[in-house]
A = this chain, B = another copy of it.
Amino acid sequence: MQKAPQKLPLDGIVVIDLSHVYNGPYATFLMAMAGAEVIKVEPLGGEHLRSRGDMGGADLPFAMLNSNKKPVTLNLKEAAGRALLTELVQRADILVENFAPGVMDRLGVGAAQLLEINPRLIYGSSSGYGKSGPYRDYPAMDLVMQAMCGVIDSTGYPDQPPVKAGAAICDFMAGIHLYGAIMTALYERTQTGQGRVVEVSMQDATFASLASNLGMLHARGDAAPARTGNRHGGLGISPYNVYPTVDGYVVLNAPGDRHFYAILDVIGCPELKNDPRFANRSARVAHTADVDNLIESWTRKMKKDEVAERMLNGKVPCAPVRKLQEVLQDKNMHARGSLQTVDHPLLGSVVLPGSPLVFEGVERRPIEPSLPLGASNDQIFGEWLGHSAEELAQLRAQGVI
């Protein structure tokens, strides 16, 4: 007998998503891909990311983070808009927002009010510095948070100014932590019957990722360099660096002696296993320049993919430094369904991510491309909440939806 197709884990869960740009929308994207119904509530002009196209290309980020969501418009500055939000919240399990702290309260739809309307609601919010604490009202964006959290000072070469991490790590760290906090509260609700307010700050969410750097600071005090370029954050492993090749760069990392001996075999210098400069990790760390020169003299003559292939065959932790064009074509992620080529109605053929959360034994939810502003107004406000076509027309005329 054939098994019935499994449902996705969040099947039946309804999410009201008031969030914008990266951090909240990433959390609700993961909910959508895990099976939840996500209603994306935007102001009449659309959330910031829709209108940011002129800031260097926000079309693809919007598409990446808003698959499988149902976008509706709602003017929360109008009483009728807040009334509609209340109707949504009555039928929802989860509400997500990443406004600055206090914004929802000032609109009259703060957590306390909404939990009174629906005591089973999980109200999740994220912000730069959190809802408590003296920095709560500081403006927060990824660059600013990278500076405050120590990411910038930890990145770059010791003899050069610090540089930001290219990835928007504070934004996305907050988004995925918010997802985790909300899921925890959703589980808790099954035990207590009660909803809860959860919150995450970008600052808190980023801290742990600096564990290696904090570890070196603890061990060496002020003698610890703030940043180590491409060398190990604790300056405790060699080789560990980015090396030039004919057509770009590779990284190599030999945490153990066996990795280094494998490198010597790959580059055809097995006799150097007896060289006292390279005998063990501490010796190699003390002779890092020699180690790096040895490896570089070999990598310089080859293409990066060739270096990586030979090293990986020798079980050496190695990778080409890939350009994003190459990342988008990654064979592994496409094979796993983590990247999919999607025919997007606005963008044409694009590569979009599925969810990194893999639930074995159930098919991944197929990517449904992001929709235009307000595309689901009729479905959500009409069919789902039961407002008539006349009512919707009036709400439109009044600038409510």
- Chain A 54-76 against B: per-residue CB contact (8 Å), 1 yes, 0 no? 11111111001100000000000
**Do B60 and A219 touch (CB < 8 A)?**
yes
Question: Which residues of B lie under 8 Å from residue A139 when comparing CB positions?
Answer: 312, 315-318
**Do A168 and B203 touch (CB < 8 A)?**
no
Chain A residues in the interface with B (C-beta under 8 A): 9-10, 12, 22, 26, 30, 34, 52-61, 64-65, 111, 129-130, 132-136, 138-141, 143-157, 161-169, 171-173, 176-177, 179-181, 183-188, 190-191, 196-201, 203-220, 222, 226-230, 232-237, 240, 242, 244, 249-251, 253, 255, 281-282, 312, 315-328, 330-333, 335-336, 338-339, 347, 350, 353, 356-361
Which listed residue (B57, B148, B250) contacts A319, Cβ 8 A?
B148
**Do B197 and A147 touch (CB < 8 A)?**
no
Interface centre among A149, A167, A201 (most CB of B within 10 A): A167
**Do B166 and A233 touch (CB < 8 A)?**
yes
**Do A147 and B184 touch (CB < 8 A)?**
no
In the assembled complex, the CB of A207 is this many whole angstroms from the nearest CB of chain B, namely 5
Which listed residue (B211, B216, B361) contacts A197, Cβ 8 A?
B361
Task: Give 5 A-B contacts (CB < 8 Å), ordered by A residue.
Answer: A143-B240, A147-B251, A161-B244, A163-B163, A164-B242
**Do A358 and B130 touch (CB < 8 A)?**
yes
Question: Which residues of B lie under 8 Å from residue A253 when comparing CB positions?
Answer: 141, 143-144
Contacts A184-B183, A208-B65, A336-B204 given; does A226 touch B323 at CB 8 Å: yes
Contacts A135-B332, A211-B65, A232-B55 given; does A162 touch B242 at CB 8 Å: yes
Question: Which residues of B lie under 8 Å from residue A129 when comparing CB positions?
Answer: 332
Complexed CA–CA distance, A370 and B301 (Å): 48
Which listed residue (B9, B150, B171, B179) contacts A327, Cβ 8 A?
B150
